[in-house]
């Protein structure tokens, strides 16, 4: 998604809070195979049961720009995607993959260059073959959160999060507003104006002393700051 190009997952997370959209952040530790890569797009959800056929089936319903979001239960005993799956993802026009689990064929994935986010590499592929759940929902689990059709996934060096597609425009608009404010605050910091001065921190301490329920977030919103949401 081009709207994510000048943003980051921290800004999108802040945009969720500003827009009143529940946060769905993946557990920490997920990272791109190629450091610095970024990824955003509609969720193409697939549950992995030990065989590649689940991916091939998902690619058959893929739309260009989709992101394959793989639920492998966060397993650390096997890799569930490798170079052939990623090459097939390229052929299907996918924007990338986000895996709740591990990958393999790291050198080949780097050469292919398609963004792949996972919890790391493992040389062992699956040796199990579990029976698919006949009444499983269309989406997947990713850590404590559900994701699926109707969601957009965002990923960068800070992690991965999911946003309902119907709310993505509002969230990204809020994220852009926060980014502009933070850039201005950073410019003023570099020019010598401290963050305490910019946020009128002494005024906040005085008001908090008079009203212990008064929070720093309330204060920031009153003065138009953007250090935290």
| Number of Cβ atoms within 10 Å of the Cβ of 99 | 25
Whole-number pLDDT of residue 148? 94
Rounded-to-integer distance, Cα 222 and Cα 64, Å = 43
On whether the pTM is more than 0.85, the answer is yes
Annotated binding-site residue numbers for substrate: 82-85, 104
pLDDT exceeds 70 at position 1? no
CATH class of 2-170: alpha beta
Q: Which residues pair with 159 in a beta bridge?
A: 156
Rg (the chain; Cα; Å): 21
Among candidates 103, 81, 89, which has minimal Cα distance to 44? 89
> Tens digit of pLDDT for each residue in 153-211?
999 999 999 999 999 999 999 999 999 988 888 899 999 999 999 999 999 999 999 99
Annotated binding-site residue numbers for Mg(2+): 105
**Quick one: how far is CA 39 from the chain centroid?**
8
Q: Which two tokens stand for residue 196?
A: 């305490």
* SS3 state of residue 112: helix
Asked whether the beta carbons of 7 and 175 are under 8 A apart, the reply is yes
* SS3 state of residue 98: strand
Annotated binding-site residue numbers: 82-85, 104-105
Any idea where the domains of the chain sit in the sequence?
Answer: 2-170, 193-223
Angle, vertex CA 68, rays to CA 151 and CA 48, nearest 5: 110
Rounded-to-integer distance, Cα 34 and Cα 90, Å = 16
């Amino acid at each position: 998604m081009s709207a994510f190009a000048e943003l980051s997952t921290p800004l999108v997370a802040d945009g969720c809070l500003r827009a009143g959209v529940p946060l769905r952040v993946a557990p920490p530790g997920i990272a791109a195979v190629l450091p610095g890569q970024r990824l955003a797009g509609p969720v193409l959800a697939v549950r992995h049961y030990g065989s590649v056929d689940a991916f091939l089936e998902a690619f058959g319903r893929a739309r260009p720009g989709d992101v394959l979001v793989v639920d492998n239960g966060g397993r650390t005993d096997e890799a569930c995607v490798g170079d052939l799956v990623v090459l097939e993802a390229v052929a299907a026009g996918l924007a990338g993959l986000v895996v709740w689990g591990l990958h393999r064929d790291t050198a080949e994935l780097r050469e292919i260059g398609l963004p792949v986010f996972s919890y790391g590499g493992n040389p062992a592929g699956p040796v199990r073959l579990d029976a698919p759940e006949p009444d499983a929902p269309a989406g997947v689990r990713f850590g404590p959160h559900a994701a699926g059709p109707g969601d957009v996934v965002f990923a960068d060096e800070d992690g991965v999060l999911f946003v309902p597609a119907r709310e993505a425009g509002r969230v990204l608009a809020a994220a852009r507003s926060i980014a502009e404010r933070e850039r201005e605050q950073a410019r003023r910091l570099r020019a010598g104006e401290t963050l305490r001065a910019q946020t009128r921190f002494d005024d906040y301490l005085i008001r908090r002393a008079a009203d212990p329920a008064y929070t720093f977030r309330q204060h920031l919103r009153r003065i138009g700051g953007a250090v935290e949401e």
